[in-house]
Chains A and B, each alone.
Chain A
Amino acid sequence: MTTNELLFLVFAFGLIAWFVGRARAASFINADTPIINSLPNYHGWFSCLWAIIPPIIFLIIWSNISPALVTDMVLANPEAASITADTFSRSAILSEARAVANGSNQALFQEGSEKLVPLYAEAQSYYNSIALVATILLIFAGGAFAYTRLKPNFRARSKVEKIVMLGLLLASLIAVLTTVGIVASLIFEAYRFVTLVSPIEFLFGTNWNPRDDIVAGEDNGYGAIPLFWGTIFIGAIIAMIVAIPFGLMSAIFLTQYSSPRFRSIMKPVLEILAGVPTVVYGYFAALTVAPAVRDFAVMVGFSNAASDNAMAAGIVMGIMIIPLVASMADDSIAAVPGAMRDGSLAMGATKSETIKKILLPAALPGVVGGILLAVSRAIGETMIVVMAAGYAANLTANPFASITTVTVQIVALLTGDQDFGSPHTLAAFALGLVLFIVTLLLNLVALRVVKKYREAYE
């Protein structure tokens, strides 16, 4: 029996336990005891939880240790002792025999694995029957324990609610676990990278041309400065030149000038712009915008303009960011107290003078916070740059040249046929760590700025 089938069995018995517990509680109600402490349903849940939680915990542990137990039993057999001692081919033979024994694979390629298949099948059926017996024992032990505790005055509800609260707490801890997982995996892999390539070369080198054969003390082509520059140039400069004026002016027009009707139509339209998947933007940038930009560049005299130029990626990324900038600006302008605006208008200033001299300066911290968030979003954006910007690491300020970014290189480094310990793969994690830290800092600063500014007017 596989773990899934065992789980199914557990849940089936859990359902039975629910009904039995409920029926038992209902039978307590009679003329002598018209009221019992908890509703019958709670008694049902109490029995059900006791019947399923212990075996589930057992199965989780079991599914982690049983493969090792099975392998040990196979290797203990004298026939298995004859296979090669080389660790790598040995594990290949073992995993193949296991796959065939499970029925998930038909063909055998490794020499010597065919005689292991029956051994595997035997070991597996041995441990599977142990698991089955243990699971059923746990179900019945838990169920019986719960059953004996059911009494008219038993506080089933508070017991069940305690478990519910535990479940809620565990659910909210998953977010913390994810964060820890991200930090741990990035730092772990980045540390392995740093043991191969000096961090000085990585952070301050200007030559990005990763080599697989690392020579200590030499330039191995892991200088990430061109990538950092490309990321900043596309995400924080070109994209922002597009996004800030359009986003800000759209927000101003929609909040200050437009009729409510026009606003109610245009706001969702801008939100659609934010909802278009990035792969669509990327395709649009590569197919339509990039050739147009190149033709334009050639027309104005940049004869060496690349077809995968930074400009196209930056412009399209800027368009994608417009709604984000607009909604942040919208929020911060709306938070400026009406008295300031009314005062300015009463002094005879025109609407645009009020906006330029009163509203915008007052809303500036909020707008800046929004722009920081937009920058953090832009530098982490992947698909647009993967599809429209290039793979060549050029340290140049020419917007019509091919420029690569951190995210492009992460994708490029990880999608080859690399194995997990090669400096190529590890470099991707080091880049990921830098990206994570930078976006994290930008977000923290932005949120703090926005929060401080909101408090100032409250």
Chain B
Amino acid sequence: MNNTIDPTPTDWNSPEMQKRIAKRYASEKRFKLMGLSAVIMSTAFLIFLLITMLGNGFSGFQQTNAKLEIDFPSMTGGASAQSISGDGADAAIRSMDIAGIVAIAVDNQYGDLAKDMDQTLFSSGADRRVAAMLKADPSLVEQKVVLELPADAAIDTAYKGDGLKKAEELTQILDEKGLLTTEFNLSFLTGSDASDPAEAGIWGAFKGSLMTMVITILLAFPVGVLSALYLEEYAPKNRWTDLIEVSINNLAAVPSIIFGLLGLVVFLSWFNMPRSSALVGGLTLALMTMPIIVIAGRNAVKSVPPSIREAALGVGASPVQVVFHHVLPLALPGILTGTIIGMARALGETAPLLLIGMRAFVPAAPSGFSEPSTVLPVQIYLWSDEVSRAFVEKTSAAIIILLLFLMTMNAVAIYLRNRFETRW
């Protein structure tokens, strides 16, 4: 045994040891910096995304108007304010051929300019705006008035600084004459899909989303909560229970587009339900959301301590009473948090709804659950496909609204969790 231990201690102050330590510390610093930069880069992606959407979408809430002088008395042959007020106002206004009046007025005021540039000046919604103005104030019809009407999408985009060259020149000429104004685009919030970007709005899609969500929550919440209670509280340990558990865990991880295929075959082809309706959309999303609610619900039920159950059983409650009178109320905040998160996911879901036909052009807000309707994310997808540049800002503005909604839902979920969840 020659193997003796070298008694000389390491000389930590020796130059090579110092160098080695410095190297190790440098590598430590580098590693930490890499971690920090990963976090910062991820955040930067998010901020960049949000800023891009805000920057593009902000102008979507604004509408460029151009002034138009309309000489009603000469063009209508002296219609009186009485004739278009009162009971028959709508019919009287409709019979006035407002489209013709506007066309003549545009021709009178802008005739050469528009022809030179080969560019429409006003949106096709201008006629409707004039009709609405007349209805609100019939006395206009007896005057020569200057109205501010929505400009054509090309002018609108150019005025906001992102238009085509020709439209930009025209806009400059108009702007120098002081004919262009900007206002808050109310029709974007109240309108539905339209082929003219100046008229397109999100209310139709928004209402479709709300209706779909109503169906989803009505189905997914009760079923999800009841299955969570069954699996956590009553289910015997056997093959059937295992089968149920495996199905739920797998369903939570199945790609959403598969649910679209399921909805297409089962609801549309086998059950003949109405295509592109909120009903089928809601059913499909309910099947997708249910496993999320079950998993969240089981965790919430599991976290209720057994002492509660034992105390209730001890004073004579039946197993059903224990669960419905004691466990469920205590688990409810956790279940609700999971439900809201699941609903937020369903609200942002697009792919399965595309497959069941909710990509149809729906120019009016849906009036019933079996009417053709669309939802906000699908509307975003449809607009993103449009060629017209004016739809870029509309798409981004719709995204802002969708994100606002999702963030509110998540904030409510976090609030609920912090406010009501008891740590046992």
Hey, which bits of chain A sit against chain B, CB under 8 A? Answer: 157-158, 161, 164-165, 167-169, 171-176, 178-179, 181-182, 185-186, 188-189, 245-250, 252-254, 256-258, 266, 268-270, 272-273, 275-284, 286-288, 319, 322, 350-353, 355-356, 373, 376-377, 379-383, 386-387, 407, 410-411, 414-415, 420, 428-429, 432, 435-436, 439-440, 443-444, 447
Contact = CB atoms under 8 A, between A and B. Distances in A.
B227 A420 contact: no
Given A280-B380, A353-B24, A383-B350, A376 B253 contact: yes
Interface string B24-47: 110110111011111101110110
Q: Which 8 A-B pairs have the closest CB atoms?
A: A380-B255, A253-B35, A277-B348, A249-B38, A171-B226, A172-B227, A185-B265, A352-B31
Nearest to A273: B46
B223 interface: yes
B226 A287 contact: no
B291 interface: yes
Nearest to B349: A277
Interface of B: 24-25, 27-28, 30-32, 34-39, 41-43, 45-46, 49, 52-53, 56, 222-223, 226-227, 229-231, 234-235, 243-244, 247-251, 253-259, 261-262, 264-266, 269, 287, 290-291, 294, 318-320, 324, 344-345, 347-351, 354-355, 359, 377-378, 380-381, 384, 392, 395-396, 399, 402-403, 406-407, 410, 414
Contacts of A256: 35
Contacts of B287: 178
Given A157-B318, A352-B27, A284 B234 contact: no
Nearest to A285: B49
Contacts of A269: 43, 46
Contact of B43 (A175, A266, A432): A266
Nearest to B231: A172
A55 B266 CA distance: 25
Given A178-B262, A276-B49, A322 B42 contact: yes
Contacts of A287: 52, 56, 384, 392
The DSSP consensus for interface residues of chain B is helix
Contacts of B251: 175, 178-179
Which of B235, B255, B264 is packed against the most chain A CB atoms within 10 Å?
B255
A432 B381 contact: no
Contact of A276 (B56, B256, B355, B403): B403
Given A165-B234, A171-B227, A280-B403, 11 more contacts: A175-B227, A175-B244, A179-B251, A254-B39, A258-B39, A272-B46, A277-B406, A279-B378, A280-B380, A284-B53, A377-B253
Contact of B320 (A161, A253, A283): A161
Contacts of B243: 176
Q: Describe A's contact surface by its main secondary structure.
A: helix
Nearest to B395: A283
B39 A266 contact: yes
14 contacts: A164-B324, A171-B230, A174-B227, A178-B287, A250-B39, A252-B35, A256-B35, A266-B39, A270-B42, A275-B345, A275-B348, A383-B381, A387-B384, A444-B250
A411 B351 contact: yes
Nearest to B252: A443
B234 A447 contact: no
Given A171-B223, A175-B227, A382-B350, A432 B35 contact: no
A382 B261 contact: no
A432 B255 CA distance: 10
A278 B42 contact: no
Given A278-B350, A407-B255, A440 B43 contact: no
Contacts of A178: 247, 251, 262, 287, 290
A319 B235 CA distance: 40
Contact of B350 (A250, A277, A284, A435): A277
Contacts of A444: 250
B230 A169 contact: yes
Contacts of B255: 377, 379-382, 407, 435-436, 439
B355 A253 contact: no
Nearest to B220: A174
A383 B37 CA distance: 28
A161 B259 CA distance: 34
B28 A410 contact: no
A174 B290 contact: yes
Contacts of B407: 272
A167 B30 CA distance: 59
Contacts of B399: 280, 283
A270 B71 CA distance: 59
Contacts of A250: 35, 38-39, 42
Nearest to B264: A414
B247 A414 contact: no
Contact of B222 (A165, A171, A283, A353): A171
Contacts of A380: 254-258
B261 A410 contact: yes
B327 to A, nearest CB: 13
Contact of A411 (B34, B319, B355): B355
B261 A428 contact: yes
Contacts of B320: 161, 164-165
B328 to A, nearest CB: 12
Nearest to A383: B350
B31 A355 contact: yes
Contacts of A356: 31
